[in-house]
């Protein structure tokens, strides 16, 4: 028996459980609609899969939890609905992380609980997973709940995060995805704070495929993602996965320093070769700019060292095994 067959033997006895993780915060107006759609969809797979629908409640203050418990009584035979309550409001990315930590499915799907994500995405995820894909992203072609300017700003923010982190992901952004159990286990081995879950997943290095869809308008209520939360996520992505800004600071300081070296050389030639007397203003300005460039250069270098310390203390896995070939003893 090949070594990869031995390592993957556990796949033969899959429990065929699919976990659906939905972060939740004050969605009482849309939660019944979301569950109705999920229940209608799940009945199609009654003989093939079991579905665990898990809501991660981020300290909702409305009737969301009560509505879920009441609606769960109508769930199909092949599904179970549960709620994991967090002790404090920590944001949707922490809620999703908690969902991935407690999930038990062979395939784990992350969706929103506001009714914007159509259930046909689940069917697409299951189909691609059945073909052997381990990581599947659903990128937003358009968000109908946002205006033209908001969509443009959102795309610009995702492009900025892609550029700064150098982690390849759909340029229009992604918050709906499906992960094979292997990817989930790798993610759960990471112990980090203040980072975005999607970049943490992609930083593992697993190959992914993506398809686009149109995000629907919200069924009810308003989006909880205000401007400041979006800026916070942007900042977490840049500082959590990239030292590129620090490198730019270092290059900026070095560039300014080299330009000023040429200016000092020009002054030296004027004074000692052509016998001209430089003005006091020229000397003062050059001295100030030279000192500033040195400070910027040193800050960039110190920042790069701090980044390396940060990167080491996180203890991220340095590799992940995807495929194993060769032979080992079958101890059976």
DSSP character string of 43-77: GGGTTT-EEEEEEEE----SSHHHHHHHHGGG--T
Summary count for the chain: helices (H), strands (E)? 11, 7
DSSP SS3 for 219: coil
Q: How far is CA 108 from the centre of its chain?
A: 15
Is the distance from CB of 108 to CB of 178 less than 8 angstroms?
yes
Order of strands across the sheet that contains 50-57: 79-85, 50-57, 17-24, 107-110, 174-180, 135-143, 209-215
Distance of CA 200 to the CA centre of its chain: 6
What string of pLDDT tens digits covers the 332 residues of the chain? 444 454 444 443 456 889 999 999 988 988 999 999 999 998 887 768 889 899 988 888 889 989 998 998 898 888 888 888 888 887 888 888 888 988 888 999 999 888 888 888 999 999 999 999 999 998 877 765 555 666 666 666 667 666 666 667 776 677 789 999 999 999 988 876 656 778 788 888 888 898 988 887 776 656 555 555 555 555 665 656 666 776 777 777 778 778 878 878 877 787 777 777 767 777 787 778 778 877 777 777 777 667 666 766 766 554 344 444 444 434 44
Six token digits for residue 125: 């995820």
Res 240: pLDDT? 61
Any long-range contacts for 146-155 (C-beta under 8 Å, 24+ apart)? 154/230
Instruction: Note the pTM of the prediction, 2 decimals.
Output: 0.67
Instruction: Identify whether the C-beta of residue 146 lies closer than 8 Å to the C-beta of residue 222.
Output: no
Six-digit token pair at 91? 């944001």
**Residue among 156, 183, 186 nearest 171 (CA):** 156
Confidence (pLDDT) at 18: 92
* pLDDT, tens digit, 9 for 90 and up, residues 270-319: 777 777 776 777 778 777 877 887 777 777 777 766 766 676 676 655 43
Contact in structure between 161 and 295 (CB atoms under 8 Å): no
């Amino acid at each position: 028996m090949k070594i990869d067959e031995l390592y993957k033997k556990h796949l033969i006895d899959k429990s065929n459980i699919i976990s659906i993780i939905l972060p939740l915060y004050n969605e009482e107006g849309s939660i019944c609609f979301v569950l109705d759609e999920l229940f209608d969809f799940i009945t199609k797979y009654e003989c093939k899969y079991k579905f665990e629908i898990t809501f991660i409640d981020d300290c909702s203050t409305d009737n969301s939890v009560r509505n879920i418990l009441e609606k769960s009584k109508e769930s199909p035979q092949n599904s179970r609905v549960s709620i994991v309550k967090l002790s404090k409001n920590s944001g949707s990315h922490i809620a999703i992380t908690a969902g991935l930590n407690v999930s038990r499915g062979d395939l784990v799907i992350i969706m929103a609980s506001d009714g914007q994500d159509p259930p046909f995405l689940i069917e697409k995820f299951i189909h691609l997973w059945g073909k052997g894909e381990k990581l599947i992203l659903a990128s937003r072609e358009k968000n109908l709940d946002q205006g033209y300017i908001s969509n443009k700003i959102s795309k610009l923010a995702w492009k900025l995060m892609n550029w700064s982190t150098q982690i390849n992901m759909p340029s229009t952004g992604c918050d709906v995805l499906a992960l094979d159990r292997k990817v989930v286990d790798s993610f759960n081995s990471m112990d980090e704070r203040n980072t975005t879950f999607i970049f943490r997943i992609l930083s593992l290095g697993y190959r992914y495929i993506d398809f686009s869809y149109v995000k629907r308008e919200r069924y009810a209520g308003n989006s909880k993602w205000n401007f400041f939360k979006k800026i916070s996520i942007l900042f977490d992505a840049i500082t959590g996965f990239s030292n590129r800004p620090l490198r730019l600071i270092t290059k900026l300081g070095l560039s300014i320093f080299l330009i000023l070296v040429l200016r000092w050389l020009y002054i030296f030639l004027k004074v000692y070769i052509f016998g001209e007397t430089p003005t006091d203003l020229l000397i003062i300005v050059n001295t100030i700019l030279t000192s500033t460039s040195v400070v910027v250069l040193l800050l960039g270098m110190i920042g790069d060292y701090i980044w390396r310390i940060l990167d080491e203390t996180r203890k991220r896995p340095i590799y992940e095994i995807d495929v194993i070939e060769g032979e080992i003893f079958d101890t059976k």
